[in-house]
Amino acid sequence: MSGRDKAPDKGHGKGGAKRLLYRVLGIEAKKKVVREGLKEVEPNGTTAEIKAWEPPTVTKNYDPNHVSAANSDFPVMPYTGPHLDSKSSPYPGTNIERTTVPITQIPWSTPYKQYKPIEHTNPDHVGPNRRPYAQSENVQEVIDTQQLGGIKSFYAIQHGGRESRPQNPMGRTGLSGRGTLGHWGSNPAVDALLIRQNPKDATIPEIFLIWRRADSVLATPGGMQEGDELTNALKKEVKEEVGDDIAKLLPGKPKTIVYRGYVDVSRNTDNAWIETTAFALFFNQEEARRMPAKLTPTDIEEVDAAKGGWFPLEPYLNPDTSDGEPLPLYGSHAQIVQLLKNVPSFQQWLSGEKGKLST
């Protein structure tokens, strides 16, 4: 039995849970650039501080099902910048090193005359035989024809530089072009926070995490929206990355939006980036017991089913960072999971299920 399948030893504490997870997954904690407010601490100990960080303005022109943005029912959450993973090298799937962008030079509003980003777009996303989800390499053509939804974003974006391309609302990344992303501007995504009670101990909430082969890290299930209505996209991604047994449960479950906004991931570039809508769905112990012990994701090229599964939620909800390292999760997923603490429906689910146990 793997460590993630057992109810956690409550005596281990958060640090023990972290060490257990590292051991089970066969990975090591890595020293990396860390964010301290608006400061950046490099591995050599030097510190740079950004003097002014202004979150981008949220746009008001949107279709909440397809080009999601802000209103009272579909809010865009504040993003605490600046981004860091979006500046990391090498760029995923390549040996390309980004142009270094000091934290003080991330905002477009800060002059950076010597800035010369490396240009990269996946060759499969260029030309007449490009992938069906990829827009034309001609930005003006995408704008004029509204190809695949045109250039969209939760945020009011500026255009500038080469070919008047859309500029990442969070600032410079050290790499121009679209990288491995298909769309100029925002590439809409959807994420699922699947939360259940442990089948053997209902006092322990668990979260389902997948193992991303490409990045060798755990993540919440999710993927690109690709023009689908949000809830249809959610079901499709859960089926691909978790399995049809869980996907079949989704249509009848209440869904709570936990986060909607920019995602700081290594695939982002100066001109293309990911924005997501993250839903939380809650399952009680009775539902958990009916779930199959072995799930069958269909996207086995992207997901390693052997390393994914149900994990104790607590170490992710209240992570121990005393050693300077949070539990590893892809991109901004760790921050998104921690937002659960502020979601009323999660607190209601917790208190409601605990109430059932005490009666």
Most trustworthy range by pLDDT among 155-169, 186-200, 330-344: 186-200
Mean pLDDT of the chain: 80
User: For residue 82, is the peptide bond before it cis, meaning its omega torsion is within 30 degrees of 0?
Assistant: yes
CATH fold for the domain made of 3-358:
Nucleoside Triphosphate Pyrophosphohydrolase (3.90.79)
Mean pLDDT across 228-245 = 85
Domain boundaries, the chain: 3-358
Of the listed ranges 47-56, 65-74, 212-221, 302-311, the least confidently predicted one is 65-74
Extended strands (E) in the chain: 34-36, 39-41, 47-49, 118-121, 159-160, 165-166, 175-179, 185-197, 205-212, 217-219, 222-224, 256-263, 272-283, 309-312
Q: What is the mean pLDDT of residues 322-347?
A: 82
The terminus-to-terminus CA distance of the chain in angstroms comes to: 32
Mean pLDDT of 50-76: 51
Please name the residue that has the structure tokens 């501080």.
49
- pLDDT tens digits, one per residue of 97-112: 999 999 889 999 899 9
Q: Are 168 and 183 in contact (CB under 8 A)?
A: no
Q: Which pTM was predicted?
A: 0.79
Q: Does the structure show a pLDDT above 50 at 282? A: yes
Structure tokens at 350: 């917790």
Kind plus residue range of the DSSP H or E element containing 58 = none
Cα–chain center distance at 317: 16
- In this predicted model, which residue has the larger pLDDT, 219 or 74? 219
Tokens of 271: 């001109």
* Residue type for position 281: L
pLDDT at residue 339 tops 70: yes
Tokens 């859960």, located at residue? 238
CA distance 89 to 172: 14
Q: Measured between alpha carbons, how far is 325 from 29 in angstroms, rounded to an integer?
A: 7
What pLDDT was estimated at residue 326? Answer: 62
